[in-house]
Amino acid sequence: MALRFEHDRPRLRAVAYRILGSLSEADDALQDAWLRADRADTSDVANPSGWLTTVVARVCLNMLRARAGRREEPLDDVVPGPRSGGGSADPEEEAQLADSVGIALLIVLDTLGPDERLAFVLHDMFDVPFDDIAALLGKTSAATRQLASRARRRVRGVPAPEADTPRRRRAVDAYLAATRGGDFDALVALLHPDVVLRADEAVVPTPEPVVMSGREPVARGAMASMSRAQTAAVVLVDGLSGIATAAHGRLAVVLRFAFDGDGLITGIDVVAEPERLAALDVTGAGVS
């Protein structure tokens, strides 16, 4: 079993990372899973790889459920940075993994409940049979299919039929590209002269919400978030194109936009308070 675990480690790590969204937590899950596997009687295990996947998934499910029980986290976790108690994962490796999986996908996965996330990841990404997942969750196979189906709909996303126009989506794409690339002039060109940005206290953080107006002040504020933009992606926020950022695979900040009739951005609402984030419907925008 030790040889099989080492042989399967890359796949098991991939499973844990997609379930948890954090490389350090995935490595912690693998360590815990191996301790459990090493103590177990595996003499009757017919499919060692499948059995190890189940052990890793069970550990990850416990971690997800514990995480869901403490959704309100300290402000240090809102801004991307090292996670307390999360091991010593290489930030560059984590960034490469996030890119390979898809930042938008990780963001949307973080909005799912633990059971939905596990069902979707194991079945849709790793071809684990529903019967096996159902046994993990303590549900029927039919109920597990429903969980995966609901998760699939959120991952794919359904834009509002008229309000989310292609021009709006292009503007949000351009805003993210300009912020990531530090292109101040391109960002200014997307903004209305009287644009207003409002940000939660948790974004900076500050004692009260931040409000700034005017093209250049708002553009300069956006430039200050270049590092955060590296872990951001375009998603649907309440059915409309917006931007969400992930801190170690966890939904951290959401940007909602308002436009004028000419397609210029007139308002930006930056949401980071846990209660407000939880109230938003964040789904995929062409995520696969």
- pLDDT, one tens digit per residue, over 63-72 is 999 987 665 4
Sheet holding 282-283, edge to edge: 210-213, 191-199, 265-271, 250-259, 240-247, 232-237, 282-283
* N-term to C-term CA, the chain: 34
Q: What is the pLDDT of residue 164?
A: 63
Buried b (16+ CB within 10 A) or exposed e, 234-263: bbbbebbbbbbbbbbbbbbbbbbbebeeee
pLDDT at 30: 96
Q: What is the pLDDT of residue 67?
A: 83
- pTM of the predicted model as reported, rounded to 2 decimal places: 0.77
Q: What is the pLDDT of residue 71?
A: 54
Q: Which residues of the chain fall short of a pLDDT of 70?
A: 69-89, 158-164, 205, 286-288
Nearest to residue 64, comparing CAs of 102, 133, 17, 103?
17
**Torsion angle (degrees, nearest 10) of CA 41, 44, 49, 51:** -60
Indicate the SS3 state at residue 196. Answer: strand
Question: pLDDT value at position 152?
Answer: 92
pLDDT at residue 126 in the model: 94
Which residue, chain included where needed, has tokens 């360590």? 31
